[in-house]
């Protein structure tokens, strides 16, 4: 049930908490600002309105893209980590919760209760500022085994930070197979220095889209933190 659903801490590690009363800095430069906008567009695309019929609460909502994949590459490790953490805190509203709680514990609790309250009404549209569940995928056998049974309690961003190719393949297979049963959209963000070779990415010049044949996942969003576009062979090329 939505009321009692909890964050799956055995599958994901939540982003580092902010200090009470503090607010993490957003994108630091022009390249990060462009990457941030691309992340926002990718996450929000195809999420649907989250509604199920009033008389059929167990029916899955219409979610055009239940699962999608993006790769954020380039730049340096610190820049990638900063942007991923800050974007996750933006989606899950934990920065806002920390600021409210620092001002008043009551305000923090009111935000939590308001989130749960809106999630109870399955026949209404998803609240435009509904927090997402965000976290870093744990790369150990127990977490990998849980993937096949993962069902999101709300829109979810999973961050795969420099996973080994074998682990990434296992993740993609599990999520790609389970996605038909997802009630909420799930987004997998792969961050690394370069495009993972196991994705076998190819660029469609006509559609200006990246695609992967791996597990029939299809379109992949590629976000380059270096401010350059990625050529079809995975190398960097100047933007047009």
pLDDT tens track for 161-211: 988 888 999 999 999 999 999 999 999 999 998 999 999 999 988 888 999
The reply to whether the predicted model has a pTM over 0.95 is no
Distance CA 20, CA 11 (A): 26
Average pLDDT over every residue of 98-102: 74
The pLDDT, as a whole number, for residue 23 is 58
Average pLDDT over every residue of 10-26: 72
Which of 160, 145, 156, 144 is CA-nearest to residue 196?
Answer: 160
Residues of the chain with pLDDT > 90, as a percent, come to 40
- Residue 100 in this model has a pLDDT that exceeds 90: no
State the average pLDDT for the chain.
Answer: 84
**Rounded alpha-carbon distances, angstroms, from residue 28 to 33, 79, 82, 96, 223:** 7, 9, 9, 19, 16
**What digits encode the pLDDT tens for the residues 43-56?**
999 999 988 888 88
DSSP string, 151-189: --SS-EEEEEES--HHHHHHHHHHHHHHGGG-SS-EEEE
- Residue 236 in this model has a pLDDT that exceeds 50: no
- Residue 136 in this model has a pLDDT that exceeds 80: yes
**What digits encode the pLDDT tens for the residues 56-74?**
888 999 899 999 999 999 8
- Residue 212 in this model has a pLDDT that exceeds 50: yes
């Amino acid at each position: 049930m939505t009321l009692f659903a909890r964050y799956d801490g055995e599958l994901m590690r939540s982003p580092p908490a902010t200090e009470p009363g503090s607010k993490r800095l957003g994108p630091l430069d022009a390249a990060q600002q462009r990457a941030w906008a691309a992340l926002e567009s990718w996450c929000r695309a195809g999420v649907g309105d989250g509604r199920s019929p009033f008389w059929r609460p167990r029916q899955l909502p219409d979610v055009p893209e239940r699962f999608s994949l993006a790769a954020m590459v380039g730049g340096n490790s610190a820049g990638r980590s900063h942007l991923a953490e800050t974007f996750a805190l933006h989606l899950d509203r934990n920065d806002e919760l920390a600021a409210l709680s620092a001002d008043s514990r009551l305000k923090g609790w009111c935000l939590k209760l308001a989130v749960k309250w809106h999630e109870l009404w399955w026949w209404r549209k998803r609240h435009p500022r509904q927090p997402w569940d965000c976290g870093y995928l744990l790369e150990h056998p127990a977490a990998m085994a849980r993937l096949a049974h993962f069902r999101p309690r709300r829109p979810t961003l999973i961050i795969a930070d420099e996973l080994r190719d074998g682990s990434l393949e296992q993740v993609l297979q599990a999520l790609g197979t389970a996605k038909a049963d997802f009630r909420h959209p799930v987004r997998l963000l792969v961050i690394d220095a370069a495009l993972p070779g196991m994705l076998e990415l190819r660029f469609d010049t006509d559609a200006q889209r990246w695609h992967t044949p791996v597990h029939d996942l299809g379109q992949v969003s590629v976000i380059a933190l270096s401010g350059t576009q990625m050529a079809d062979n995975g190398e960097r090329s100047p933007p047009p």
